[in-house]
Chain A
Amino acid sequence: MVEVKKILFPVDFTENSKKIFPYVKSFAKTFGARITLINIVKHMEDFAGFELMGAERWALFEKDSKEKALGTLKNIAADDFSEFKDVDYAVIVGDIVDEIIDYAEQKKIDLIIISTHGRKGLEKVMLGSVAEGVVKRASCPVLTINPYKCVFGVCALDR
């Protein structure tokens, strides 16, 4: 029996992921599903490929980023998803795709909703590498939404 009771929504704090909010809300309401917002803070190696700043300062930076991300997710849950009683949120440090996939498996997520385009410039014309990685590796179904083509349920150019 197919059911969607847990929705995972990776958020990168861009306008693009904001455009996906209405979809997440509609899908959660329709299925009566619980929403988890997740943000991945990139690991040191992803920034430089070598050790940066010294481990101590890095640990501080990481801790700071994590706290800020948690605060931002908390605000999004309170402001943008106020009509939902229990919105979970999590911040994880690591590789974006790996962590999303791991989290979804651990928490037995039924559906991941993700923007096809995220933070990076070139991705405006290409499929985002994060969305691509998630779609390719996820065990659960993935709903991809193109933020440049779908806004508030109005998709395609001719509508």
Chain B
Amino acid sequence: MVEVKKILFPIDFTESAKKVLPYVKYFAKSFGASVTLIHVVRGPEEFTGFEFGSAWWSNFEKEVMDGARTAMEHFIADELSDFKGVDYMVLMGDMVDEINKFAEQKKIDLIIMGTHGRKGLEKVMFGSVAEGVVKRASCPVLTVNPYKVRS
């Protein structure tokens, strides 16, 4: 019997994450699994392609990471208060790399994510993040199209 004890849920704080959430809850309840939310803040090179002054960047980095942690705590309080055993992680770097690395390190059994995320074009196309995760993940990945979820 294949067990699903640890679910990883990458979120980008958009409406899309909220639409995928009912699946996360249903799967977690059905399997008796814990849920870890993860948010990946893009690293400096992805913003510009050149280097800012390191002092400027480290300030900015701290602010962004703190902001993400606060947003996570709000998200959990608002959306997952009925759920025990929820934790979260905020990382910085390439989204696909960090999600897959984290999933391997923590021996995640299942990643659940929306197929469409933050960026404009991704609203109509398959999100590049979901695609990268599906292609490279070591564990099963459940993809949910937030624009097609039956409610």
> Using a CB–CB distance below 8 Å, which chain A residues touch chain B?
1-4, 22-23, 25-27, 29-31, 116, 126-127, 131-132, 135-136, 138-146, 149-150, 152-153, 155-159
Contact = CB atoms under 8 A, between A and B. Distances in A.
B145 A26 contact: no
B134 A139 contact: no
A80 to B, nearest CB: 14
- Indicate the size class of the contact surface on chain B: 20 to 34
Nearest to A157: B138
B134 A22 contact: no
Contact of A136 (B22, B31, B126, B139): B126
A89 B135 CA distance: 28
Interface of B: 1-4, 22-23, 25-26, 30-31, 103-104, 107, 109, 115, 126, 130-131, 134-135, 137-145, 148
B140 A2 contact: no
B140 A150 contact: yes
A72 B128 CA distance: 37
B135 A2 contact: no
Contact of B138 (A30, A142, A150): A150
Contacts of A153: 1-3, 109
